[in-house]
Amino acid sequence: MQKLLLAFFVLTVTSPVTAQNVTLSLAEKLRLGMVMDATAFKALTDGNTITYNNGVEDIYREYFRPGTNRIVIEWTEARDPSQTICDTGTWYEENGLICFNWSASGSVCALWVDYEGEYISAIAGIDGTFERNLEVISTITTTPLYCEVGMVQLQQSILDAEAG
């Protein structure tokens, strides 16, 4: 009987069908994926607009200006989905993390991994954990974002200067 149970266990554990039927969570993929450094991140993002998904819906887009470390981010206000909010910033690598320094909202760092072509990020917590605020890239396009912070104020300042 023990031999029969052992044979069943070995067949079950080593069966490729069993491995294919397992659906991994984003947290498990984050743990198993290859950590992306600045070179890999730049190759993925440079000149592209990246759309991020929280597992339920697309939540924001970032445009990485080609040949620079400059970014434009765009999202809609949760309380008023007709309102688009923009911010600009830069990105850099620090201690193996990809960090963003936003003009309006400060700095944040994230662990980035490539799990079999699925790109996942996790915001780095103060306590050193990375499995909160998991996001996955849902779309990559070459269409730039033209959402600019302060564009209306800048245009108004120019008009005021010309009128005065």
**If you write DSSP's letter for every residue of 32-80 in order, what string do you get?**
HSEEP-HHHHHHHHTT-EEEEE-SSSEEEEEEE-TTSSEEEEEEE-SS-
Domain 24-159 is of which CATH architecture?
Beta Barrel (2.40)
Per-residue pLDDT of the chain (164 residues; tens, 9 = 90+): 333 222 322 333 333 434 444 688 888 998 999 999 999 999 999 999 999 988 888 889 999 999 999 999 988 777 777 788 889 999 999 988 999 999 988 899 999 999 999 999 999 877 777 766 789 999 999 999 887 655 433 333 434 444 44
- Answer for the pair 120, 134: CB distance below 8 angstroms, yes or no: yes
- pTM, full prediction: 0.72
